[in-house]
Amino acid sequence: MRTRNISAILAAAALAALTPTAASAAQGGTVDTSYGNPQPQEERGFPWGLLGLLGLLGLMPRKRKDAIHVDNRTRS
């Protein structure tokens, strides 16, 4: 029973520490959530997706060529 109480107290303390309260929000400042327009990123690096598709292509079964057997035995 005692371990349940301690676990509940620790969970409540962690929850209280991690959640913002109205008092801390009212104390001041505004949070700037505007990050501006993101700059387009330059394409560089290896095209790993293309390499993966080539790897998958290698796993596809191919049709086997029919084996042609030639018998050169003659009757004597």
What token pair was written down for 34? 């505007």
Residue 68: its pLDDT value, please?
A: 83
The separation between CA 13 and the C-alpha centre of its own chain, rounded to angstroms, equals: 33
Give the C-alpha separation, 1 to 36, whole Å: 53
Q: Residue 55 — very low, low, confident or very high, per pLDDT cuts 50/70/90? A: very high
**Choice between 46 and 17, residue whose per-residue pLDDT is larger:** 46
Q: What is the mean pLDDT of the chain?
A: 75
Residue 54: its pLDDT value, please?
A: 92
pTM equals: 0.29
Residue 76: its pLDDT value, please?
A: 63
Give the C-alpha separation, 24 to 36, whole Å: 26
Residue 17: its pLDDT value, please?
A: 64
CA angle 12, 33, 18 (to 5 degrees): 10
